[in-house]
Amino acid sequence: MHDVARSAGVSLKTVSRVINAEPSVADATAARVHEAIGELGFRRNDIARSLRQGSTSATLGLVIEDVTNPFYSAVAQAVESAARERGYLLIIGSCEEDAERERELILALLRRRVDALLLVPAGSPRDQSWLTRELGPSTPIVFVDRPPHGIEADCVLVDNVGGARAAVEHLLGFGHRRIAYVGDPLEMFTAEARFSGYCDALNGAGIAIDSRLVHTASNDVAGSVVSVRELLALTDPPTAIFSGNNRHTVGALRALRGREETIAVVGFDDFELADLLAMPTTVIRHDATRIGAAAAALAFSRLDAADAPPQRVVIETELVPRGSGEVRPRT
Amino acid sequence: MHDVARSAGVSLKTVSRVINAEPSVADATAARVHEAIGELGFRRNDIARSLRQGSTSATLGLVIEDVTNPFYSAVAQAVESAARERGYLLIIGSCEEDAERERELILALLRRRVDALLLVPAGSPRDQSWLTRELGPSTPIVFVDRPPHGIEADCVLVDNVGGARAAVEHLLGFGHRRIAYVGDPLEMFTAEARFSGYCDALNGAGIAIDSRLVHTASNDVAGSVVSVRELLALTDPPTAIFSGNNRHTVGALRALRGREETIAVVGFDDFELADLLAMPTTVIRHDATRIGAAAAALAFSRLDAADAPPQRVVIETELVPRGSGEVRPRT
DNA sequence: TTGTAGGCGTTATCAA
DNA sequence: TTGATAACGCCTACAA
């Protein structure tokens, strides 16, 4: 900028004015400055720019588990798209359910003074009270898919209980009585909520929870393949499976592939190709794009007006019957 | 920092030393400073830090088409993971094949002084010569999945020609003679290369290209559904389809669903669940994770040692037979 | 319309 | 071992 000023024979401030298209610059001066900018290949430094107090970095931070999971990538896409509309950029970090990594990522983002943080908190420990200290009063945080614990903050959740209940009631409606739960460990918020919906539905039908039918596995496909195999090996195996998220659904389908037995499956989370599978899969759908968009909207409205009670947005779910959930038990 | 210094009764520089764990600080002083930091909730400002000349922003910029596409999300994940290993953060932007958006994104990233840029350039116009000016001598760029045009730069590509040829030769081996191409418009680099592999294979078998069997559609699922329907409606329809990427493969499968005719399909790009589909899908697999990792490695090695001839890394492909590609034509 | 001075939060240099 | 001072690149406030 210094060089530009000298080359154009003006002061720094004038260059600044030209860069930012401020009105009060003589056309001739502006032209000279532009020329110098072109020659010198000058480019404004937004880092220096954002250093001024009261100014923003125009950056959002998003911390998720893993971009590879289609649910999170849809969320990320929606957040990025909302960010772009406001001229913001998005820094994405994956923490892979590792609380320590999550913490480091968040601190790194805060050191960079992101204007707001969107977080899918690791499943455990379910306590983010430490964030209160770190965030300070000026950095809003929005919790995505899992609620805050030990800190007051906006969040966007899915109607986990309702969705799970609908899934299990659907299976009950087709005559199933032995319905398994395959999902994340229950200390995870979404798992707990979905399991609770599962229990609600069974209890509503006067069916006791059979703990042998409840399998939790870490959130990976391989784990639930094993779970489902174990379920099938029971002397009195389930006739239906409710799977707790898209990873577990894929695991279940993988375990069931090529099996003689037809076992009903309803999965939480929709996924591409669910309708083209050998067993077109009935799912509880919810709109990941809406989740991301809502989270971004909360972040921005918090930036626009800091003081308002924390908001909690709940995205509803919808059962999409495709075949796998409409199988009656063998009689 | 000022406040910390005052509260601890030391100078700014000493606080700086403590923050950065520089050796030459008396333990007692360091303790006082740490205490002040804790009380005041001070956090280093990495933005200000990176302002110093010669210092880095420890940030990589990645511009892709769309995080939602599993290919790109795998690339993004790999890049982020490599970045984290070096203490770098990753800013991701999607340009949705829009050259204007791409340009804006890149400029925004450069204004933020990302240390390096990883780019999947929009398909057209196939000319990135303008980047030479914008990048300056100090910002490396790595082209991912598509090569640079009009600018010298490192890049990571897939063996498109070889993969496509293998796909079509596979189909030829099962007796197919009328093999359709369904993919991106040929002005896109990957499409051109894959189409060229398709032609190679057919020519090698003494088969002329039938332009009625060549359908290009914009890179979305709906477009290729239409294409495939049109192909099926021909008086002399193809007995096999080679689809140019994962989006087109999904489109083809979607169009073929529920059809009586069994049409062979081999798709470029592997995708999750390909093996669980009603028509388990034969694909040309290549490792998106390796692509991302290689791109990040190129970027970092360029940061470490700027002057070396541009590198071109080619990731090989592998045909994974799953059923859809091993169907013989109806006789 | 243009320029000067000062500050944003940090670190390097050099002196104490 | 510590501190004063001057950058880094930009913008705001004020003055010319």
Are A77 and B66 a contacting pair at CB < 8 A?
A: yes
pLDDT at residue B245 in the model: 94
B25 min Cα distance to partner chain A (Å): 23
Torsion angle of the four alpha carbons A31, A35, A41, A45, in this order, in degrees rounded to the nearest 10: -20
Q: Are strands B264-268 and B116-119 parallel, antiparallel or unpaired?
A: unpaired
pLDDT over 90 at A314, yes or no:
yes
Residue B208 main-chain phi, psi, to 5 deg: -80, 150
pLDDT interval class at B238 (50, 70, 90)? very high
Average pLDDT over residues B10-36: 89
Find the residue closest to C3 using CA and C1' atoms.
Answer: A11
Residue that the structure tokens 């110098």 belong to: A36
Mean pLDDT lowest for which of A111-115, B11-15, B170-174, B322-326?
A: B11-15
Tell me the percentage of chain B whose pLDDT exceeds 90.
78
pLDDT over 80 at B135, yes or no:
yes
pLDDT interval class at A123 (50, 70, 90)? confident
**A227/A183 Cα distance (integer angstroms):** 9
Please give the residue of chain A at the shortest CA–CA distance from B253: A276
A21 min Cα distance to partner chain B (Å): 16
pLDDT over 80 at B244, yes or no:
yes
Is the distance between the Cβ of A11 and the closest atom of strand C smaller than 7 Å? yes
Residue A242: closest CA among A176, A314, A145: A176
pLDDT interval class at B116 (50, 70, 90)? very high
Average pLDDT over residues A242-248: 95
Are A92 and B90 a contacting pair at CB < 8 A?
A: yes
Average pLDDT over residues A48-57: 85
Residue that the structure tokens 């709906």 belong to: B222
Q: Do B26 and B19 form a contact (C-beta atoms < 8 A)?
A: no
Residue B252 main-chain phi, psi, to 5 deg: -60, -45
Most confident by average pLDDT, A286-300, B28-42, B214-228: A286-300
Please give the residue of chain A at the shortest CA–CA distance from B45: A111
Find the residue closest to C8 using CA and C1' atoms.
Answer: A52
Cβ-Cβ contacts under 8 Å, A133 against chain B: 41
Cα B161 to chain centroid, rounded: 18
pLDDT interval class at B262 (50, 70, 90)? confident
Find the residue closest to D2 using CA and C1' atoms.
Answer: B14
Residue B180, classed as helix, strand or coil, is: strand
Cβ-Cβ contacts under 8 Å, A84 against chain B: 93
**B249/B232 Cα distance (integer angstroms):** 15
pLDDT at residue A1 in the model: 84
H/E segment holding residue B16: helix B12-19
pLDDT at residue A125 in the model: 86
Give B4 CA → C10 C1' in Å: 14
Please give the residue of chain A at the shortest CA–CA distance from B42: A134
Question: At CB < 8 A and 24+ separation, what contacts does B101-105 make?
Answer: B102/B63, B103/B130, B105/B63
Is the distance between the Cβ of B3 and the closest atom of strand C smaller than 7 Å? no
B119 min Cα distance to partner chain A (Å): 16
Residue A201: closest CA among A176, A170, A165: A165
Q: Do B138 and B115 form a contact (C-beta atoms < 8 A)?
A: no
Are B89 and A76 a contacting pair at CB < 8 A?
A: no
Cβ-Cβ contacts under 8 Å, A113 against chain B: 45-47
pLDDT interval class at A23 (50, 70, 90)? confident
Question: Could you give the C-alpha distances from B127 to A50, A73, B140, B192, in angstroms and in order?
Answer: 32, 29, 17, 15
Find the residue closest to D10 using CA and C1' atoms.
Answer: A49
pLDDT interval class at A41 (50, 70, 90)? confident
Is the distance between the Cβ of B16 and the closest atom of strand C smaller than 7 Å? yes
pLDDT over 80 at A306, yes or no:
no
**B117/B143 Cα distance (integer angstroms):** 9
**A123/A127 Cα distance (integer angstroms):** 9
pLDDT at residue A88 in the model: 96
pLDDT at residue B302 in the model: 94
Tell me the percentage of chain B whose pLDDT exceeds 70.
99
pLDDT at residue B236 in the model: 94
Are A76 and B92 a contacting pair at CB < 8 A?
A: yes
pLDDT over 80 at A120, yes or no:
yes
pLDDT at residue A246 in the model: 94
Tokens matching residue B65: 């088409």
pLDDT at residue B261 in the model: 79
pLDDT at residue A218 in the model: 78
Question: Could you give the C-alpha distances from B51 to B46, B47, B134, B137, B267, in angstroms and in order?
Answer: 9, 7, 20, 18, 48
pLDDT over 90 at A54, yes or no:
no
Are A68 and B70 a contacting pair at CB < 8 A?
A: yes
Cβ-Cβ contacts under 8 Å, B46 against chain A: 108, 111-113
Smallest CA–C1' separation from B51, nucleotide = D8
pLDDT interval class at A46 (50, 70, 90)? very high
Cis omega (within 30 of 0) for bond into A280: no
pLDDT over 90 at B259, yes or no:
no
Alpha-carbon torsion B150, B152, B155, B157, what sign? positive
Residue A154: closest CA among A264, A32, A305, A279: A305
pLDDT at residue B159 in the model: 98
pLDDT at residue B125 in the model: 87
pLDDT over 90 at B330, yes or no:
no
Please give the residue of chain A at the shortest CA–CA distance from B61: A91
Residue A59: closest CA among B93, B39, B258: B93
Torsion angle of the four alpha carbons B257, B261, B262, B264, in this order, in degrees rounded to the nearest 10: -90
pLDDT at residue A51 in the model: 87
**A88/A81 Cα distance (integer angstroms):** 9
Instruction: Say which of B68, B108, B278 has its CB closest to residue A278.
Output: B278
Give the burial string for B193-217 (b: 16+ CB within 10 Å, else e).
bbbebbbbbbeeeebeebeebbbbb
Average pLDDT over residues B107-133: 93
Mean pLDDT lowest for which of A38-52, A317-331, B60-74, B172-186?
A: A38-52
Average pLDDT over residues A137-151: 95
Cβ-Cβ contacts under 8 Å, A77 against chain B: 66-68, 94
3-state secondary structure chain A: CHHHHHHHCCCHHHHHHHHCCCCCCCHHHHHHHHHHHHHHCCCCCHHHHCCCCCCCCCEEEEEECCCCCHHHHHHHHHHHHHHHHCCCEEEEEECCCCHHHHHHHHHHHHHCCCCEEEECCCCCCCCCCHHHHHHCCCCCEEEECCCCCCCCCEEEEECHHHHHHHHHHHHHHCCCCCEEEEECCCCCHHHHHHHHHHHHHHHHCCCCCCHHHEEECCCCHHHHHHHHHHHHCCCCCCCEEEECCHHHHHHHHHHHCCCCCCCEEEEECCCCCHHHECCCCEEEECCHHHHHHHHHHHHHHHHHCCCCCCCEEEECCEEECCCCCCCCCCC
Question: At CB < 8 A and 24+ separation, what contacts does B51-58 make?
Answer: B51/A47, B51/A48, B51/A51, B56/B115, B57/A47, B57/B112, B57/B113, B57/B114, B57/B115, B58/B86, B58/B87, B58/B88, B58/B89, B58/B115
Under 8 Å CB pairs connecting chains A and B tally to: 137
Mean pLDDT lowest for which of A172-176, B33-37, B311-315?
A: B33-37
pLDDT digits (tens, 9 = 90+) for A193-242: 999 999 999 999 999 999 999 999 877 889 999 999 999 999 999 999 99
Cβ-Cβ contacts under 8 Å, B93 against chain A: 80, 84, 89-90
pLDDT at residue A55 in the model: 80
Is the distance between the Cβ of B48 and the closest atom of strand C smaller than 7 Å? yes
Which positions in strand D are less than 7 Å from the protein's CB atoms?
Answer: 1-13
pLDDT at residue B306 in the model: 73
pLDDT at residue B168 in the model: 98
Is the distance between the Cβ of B21 and the closest atom of strand D smaller than 7 Å? no
Residue A260 main-chain phi, psi, to 5 deg: -70, -50
Instruction: Say which of B74, B93, B278 has its CB closest to residue A80.
Output: B93
> Which of A49, A52, A59, A67 is the mutation pick for testing B, counting most B CBs within 10 A?
A67
pLDDT at residue A271 in the model: 95
**A282/A322 Cα distance (integer angstroms):** 5
Q: How many other β-carbons are positioned within 10 Å of the β-carbon of residue A307?
A: 5
Which positions in strand C are less than 7 Å from the protein's CB atoms?
Answer: 1-5, 7-13
Predicted TM-score (pTM) of the model is 0.94
Is the distance between the Cβ of A53 and the closest atom of strand C smaller than 7 Å? yes
pLDDT at residue B1 in the model: 85
Q: Do A27 and A46 form a contact (C-beta atoms < 8 A)?
A: no
pLDDT over 80 at B260, yes or no:
no
**A58/A149 Cα distance (integer angstroms):** 27
A49 min Cα distance to partner chain B (Å): 9
Tokens matching residue B329: 């034509």
pLDDT at residue A307 in the model: 82
Tokens matching residue A50: 């954002």
pLDDT at residue A2 in the model: 87
- Laid out side by side, the sheet with A179-183 consists of A214-216, A179-183, A240-243, A264-268, A282-285, A318-320
**B218/A32 Cα distance (integer angstroms):** 44
Residue type, A245: N
The residues near A51 (Cβ < 8 Å, ≥ 6 apart) are: B47, B48, B51
Cβ-Cβ contacts under 8 Å, A70 against chain B: 68, 70, 73
Residue B177, classed as helix, strand or coil, is: coil
Is the distance between the Cβ of A86 and the closest atom of strand C smaller than 7 Å? no
